[in-house]
Structure 1
Amino acid sequence: MKKRIFRALAALTVTALLLSGGAVYALGEVIRTTFTQTAGGITIAQGVSYISGRQTERWLEYSPNPTVSPVVVYGSKVCNYGDFSSMSALVEKNGANVLAGMNGDYYVLSTYLPLGLVIAQGRLISSDAGHWAVGFREDGRTFIDKPGLVMKAKLGTETYTLGGINKIRNSTNYFLFTDEFSYTTKNTAPGTDIILRPPEGAELTVNCELKLTVEEIIHSEGAIDLPAGKMVLSLSDAADKWRKYGVENLRVGDTVTISVSSDEIWNEAEYAVGSLYKLVTDGEVEPGLDKGEKAPRSAVGVREDGTVILYTTDGRQSGYSTGLTIEQLGQRMKELGCVEATIMDGGASTSLHATYIGNNNDSLVNKPSGGNERSVSVWIMLAAKGEGSARMTSVGLMPFDVIALPGTRIQFTAGAADETGRPVAASGYKWTSSAGSVTESGLLTASGTATDGKVTASLGGIDGSARVTVVDVPDSVAVYNEKTGQKISSLSVNACDTVDLTAKAVWRYMDVASQDDCFTWSCPDTLGSIDGNGLFTAVNSMSSGVITVSAGGVSAQINVTVGIVNTLLDGFETSASSITGARTEKDMTRVARGFASAALDYDLASGQALFNTSLNISGTTNYVNLWVYGDASGNSLYAGLADGGEVLAATLDYSGWKKWVFRAGADIKALILRGQGSGTIWIDHVVGSSGIEQDNTGPVIEAEVKGGVLTAHVKDETDGLLPVSLVGVFLDGLPLDFSYSNRVIKATLPDKEGSGRLTVRAKDISGNISEWSIFTGGADISAFTDMKGHWSEIYVNYLAAQGIIGAQPGTNAAQFNPGAPMTRAEFAAVICRMLRIDTAGYADHIMSFADLQDIPDYALEYVRALSALGVMKGALNGGVLYFMPSSGLTRQEAVTVIGRLREAGRAAASISDFIDQDLTAEWARPYFGALVYSGVIIGFEGKLMPRGTLTRAEIAKIAALVI
């Protein structure tokens, strides 16, 4: 029931609607291109096109002017990084006002060092590495060229070519570092570092000669600190004799001459940023650009008239934007009128920002493929100089552009700014519209018929406008669940339930603004009732039917089943006796839900195998859902019903778990396998249901702790009110007393020293598990001297307080050694303690590891337990089984052990977005997915590193969050 006023910022558009009429560009068919003026006179453009999928691009257009100029911004050190907000603050602290910007050059992920040139305020910050670069003059005029820096160092009578300035040292050349590089030289191998004192006031530029005095000569094994105000000339021990000669004959007090030269045009660069690939030269696309991967891209271009284009296109987002190849990027920059253009960093780094008129803060204009803005090492920003006049020079509206259905209410707000883009307080705007009726407060009700108009706010002779396109016939309509925001094509509800639905329309691949009463809703009386805002109320008995929603003659329908009630027929947790001849299986690789399944060993020598069952359905059951672990035999599994009928339950042409559903109007009296051969299949979690829709989503838990009392609301979309047997509250892994009534859990937390891990767990009838967890209480006392300030400190201290983890065996008991790998023996101990596994129950288990004597005494009982459970089986070497207790574990081994010890049924996220997901073993993928879904594992710089060794700190985090 959507009665809210539409306030969302739609596509950033206002002044032009260009329909291509079928024209084909680098992006395919250009559907809509729009422009708007923003603060400081900068133009924001957005385009939507279609070529094998929607493509979305945005760019800034800047013409050099006395007020606004480009700057290149890096952190306090060139190897630092930051988001746009934190980096723009560095500019604004000097009195400028940042209006817009874009990410800059590619950088090295491990160091955040830009690949190419950085110039700031005329100073050479980092050399070009032979790449292209963009130069910004003080007056804003821009050029693109190869700096071709020639950098030399004269030591005594010899002159040597520098490998780079503020670049990572290699094993061959001299490298020069300043204190703007980082806090250290970042060298990783032995070498000689010469501390140099520059003349007072001397600065490195692209054309300079500096005579520096040797203050100290140090032979170092790796990185050294970079002293403030000094420079360091560094040479690796692996360099040749001629270069070493320069160092060997150098003495404290000697002079070292550093010279840098380049084409004179670079003397004009007040700021500069590097670029890996040139895209357009003299108005033509560079030949040989990559035609392969489509990805988010960024680029800088210059038109013949000097206009600068800061361009981005999003990608890797199906249905929103596919991305471009580098060749397509070059073609697009040429189409936008650029005579020169060059690439910037792309992928998840692609980020475009702007400040809208009347606002004080920048907004992220594009939609990064990583879901959030990525911090990068260098930014290109457009900044207004001076404090401004505080006199209104421009008016802007938000949203800038809307496509809407007739009757949609849209709340516009007006803002004013001075010539520097700083907001100016203003009121009393006069509102007018050619796209509907607008109130004095800027609330527009869109026209009842199709139109292409605008809303205007006027004050003091200055106008600001927003574009409004009213669409009376959309291309498509879809139905969504109002609460979850999920698109739905079918709906299952219990009798008398109410469900709030909403509808969305699409026109030319773009979303159309609306409220629910802009649509027409209907359903048959036998199904229930639905009001004009999409609020559906089901009838009080089982039923099925269709809800229809329409706008402009375009409709969508969803199939609705009322009265779905799920009943667990058997989960096989304690026994498989409901299936004659089945055995209980507790190998977690053969369990779909819970901790056990039913194994059916079969031999089809006679053509079929019969397993009598006592799976009795309830009166509300029309369908049966069950998990079947197939063996790729091609055999068929049938259900024999009490009424004498048979129904195909599963076709076993696959390997692994798969959920099946079949119609069953009577009790199941037998499971029948037909086909050939022999083998084993597994059955798990058989559920009777009143409807055919499968439930694979866990309950929703909303919880909070106030005043030492936990309040949790638990609801399952399918099962509604869950029985108390399927919910629980745990503190530090131990059950906590609670009350449960009408989907609400209440629990009083005990007083305790230190922190506690509080968990609410709920499982629906289909076996889907959800958990909500937080740390409660105060901080734990630090147990180790080397953990203060470490990112894992809270987890290590908590586990130490619980007696789950300690110092690394055989090391200083006061130190944790967070970066050290955790051995397999210690991991076994930590996991058993974490999951409170009763090791005494496995005392009789005989282990057959050839290196049994190498297992430390403290770990023996834990290794025995995990060996008995089949989750740490060791490895064969030359046909001999070893446990390798002192070896480390890979991440995928560790998460798999943990996953196979936890109850099956947790949701798992896709890991396909991780860069190295293809390195993950198939057996580890679901366990990674479960920990990613729950936020226990978030990866590092987009990587899972599944084959990397897990550190003690990483294990501590996982253990603390999983307990």
Structure 2
Amino acid sequence: MSLKKPHFISLKTNFIIKFTAALTALFVFSAPFCTYADVLGTLTSQQATQFAQGTVFYTSTFEDASVGQQTEHYVAYTPNSDVVPILTNGASIYGKRTLTQANSYLNDYGIYSAMGMNADFFSFQTGVPMSNVVIDGRIVSKDSDWRPAIGFREDGSAFMGMLPIATTITTEAGSATIECINKYRQPYALYLYTKDFADNTHAPGTGINVVLGSLSGDITLNSSITAVVEAISEDDGSVPIPDDKLILSVDSSASQELKDRLNILQPGMTVTINTSEATGDARWNTAKYALGCLGGKLITNGQLDYEDESAAPRSAIGIRADGTVIFYTIDGRQSGYSYGVRKETLARRLLELGCVEAMNLDGGGSTSIGGVLPGTTDFTIMNSPSDGGLRSCANFFFLKKNNAPSGIPYVLNLSDWGKPVLSGSSIQLRIESAYDSSYGPAQVPSDAVFYLEQDAMTPSPDGVGTGVYENGYVTVRGNGDVYVAAKSGDAYGSTMLRAVATPDEIKIYNASTGEEVQELVMNPGDTIALSATAYWGGQAMVVDNSSFTWRVVSNDDSVGNITDDGFFTTSDQNGASGIVAVNAGLCTREIPVRIRETGEMPPPEYYPLIQGEIGENSFTARLTSQNGTISANEIHLTIDGTPATYQYDATSGILTYLYPENFDENYHRITLIVTDTAGASALAAFDLGNVSQNKNKFPDTVGHWADSYISYMAEHQVVNGSDDGMFHPNSSMTRTEFAIMLCNYLKINPEDYADTTLPFIDAGDIPWWAVNYVKAIYSLGIMQGQLNDYGVAFCPNDNIQRLEYAISVERLLPSGLATAPITATDEADIPFWGKESMKIATAQGILNGYPDGTLRPRQSVTRAEAVKILFTIFGAGK
């Protein structure tokens, strides 16, 4: 057995996938990589797995603006001697079976598949396929119609053409046409049955049946066999089909012309059955398997050739110019997963995949494709049938493995395919798994030896080449692709490393948190552990730590120093600045460094970090801060807006809240606010359950996007409906309504503020039932009114604006929360006095921008939006 070299397939990007073995690679592409995915939309992901020699299974998802996600599954098969296509109907032509049942049937006969998929259209009543079927060269089913078909030769190569089959029975007295072989008997044709059909004819009603024995051979394309008429009888219903015999049958209700065809037959007579492919296409003489298709052509000679139909799940088969066969499926009728396609889209997609011939197979609920994952023996369904499960069908294409499972290693799967490695750095390669020649599981050999198969084309400047040790330890040198192989007896595998002299970029990270560092603003005398990662072609490189060189440059007073392994310590000079730089090869990354002035607040990455986890019996959170410490009296925890008792270990930073024994199973919202000793704060909320558990409170919010939030906030008496029992979610919220909602949120008794004097010039316009609510919110400094030419007004009937909402919410929150620059295109519309509030609201995710890049600060807030915003911070309040 010879060793097999790797196959490489380009995906028209900077990525290359290795297919020597069953290495699975998942790539999620962004728009620039989607030049070949126009038909189904924007390619969002693609996974490729080699199931067997020359057999690569693809799963791809696309996003289409009109129909949403589309999901396709297909196998690209390159004809080879190890894997060949076959066609099967299972145990009989009559009846139906699922794809997995058909695979099990093959397994019972010692046939093991790499892939299988549904094939021709069929009768739902009988399971009999609609078109011509040739298996192992024998005609096992034929119809009189002219239909396109695909043929497979013994070497796995395929072709397409029309396949009309003519069959006659001849005696000295004359000849008669046989329209159908192994089809369900109807009163409009003469039928011939072989044992392939079933144990009996399954014919309904009365019919005339002729038993033919002493067969001289099988019925094949362009064949002539002899038989002897053994008996002629009229029978009511189905009759048995004896072994090694044929049944010629016609329905008693058929035309006299059909019944008269049998007059040329007499018991004891020798007859000749002639079968020929009616077009004279010599290629059919080479076909071992063939299948006609009721679904028609999609592509002929590289040109679109279809009759369109509505969108549905689809199955198809195509042939590329280089002989590759595409076994194709696309799922459908599943919102959010896959919509399905019309025939036109299917044809264009196959053309896009390089097919020059293609035809449409049975689709809809019949669409199914599966295979045996490399390293396993179980047949797995790979797509999502639209019926919710496999449909029983007539026949199936399979790719048969000619090598039976042996467990003897043959294919070695090496790690780190395509990994970029900085020249001079080292990597430890591994044999991740091994397969036998059938791509079934095999033990990884312990005696495999690694060796250099091909070094980089451009050597390193010192002329030293890549070094490979027998245990897989590799020191890469030079610039270009390096191939390293491993072998053990007949087992072989190879991987490719990319030797890179200089990275494309370097990024600096906080070694403790793993977060990328863009700049450092630290206190005097602080220390931080930094790490660096180099990138090439968008991939993280393998770089020895010793290959990174760190340095510090101060602008004036010393800003600090850094060790060779990235530990940076600031000096004691307040306000000092400079840069921290790291380089590998000729690539350098610099980040600015500044030591804080006394009392200065930290940048966002130095704010407290809350990492919470919802457990079955408790909620736990890890609280950390790079800026100071967090004490128990600076922690505010609420459950559904009510303060809760918790346990806190200041040493470990672990907070624990045990659910009470009477805790119900409804949805609960946990809100946690912490402030460190430097005055920096953080806010986080967690969901215990799903907010959609909340039952709807108002008839007009059923199905509304904010239904769950409105129901939850109404349940906790933050909002109420109108007098008509409705909520009016899409109506704008007035400033008066907003004041009432905030009072409810803060659980304030408005009567406690009845003696407050309002300074507003329009105080008389505030409804009498809302006056005390406005007094309360004014007294707490949350709503202060609006200054106009005549004085300060409350404007009770005006709609609350997004900017006003942000200002009020910011006044509810603790000080010291992180802010972020506003990048909205309409930033200029935010007045200076509201900018800080908007920065906090956007940085904390309380207010979000719109898809067009705007914030729209002056836009009115709907009642639904107002509730959702307050839900976001539920439990936070001064």
Higher CA-based Rg = 2
Larger proportion of strand: 1
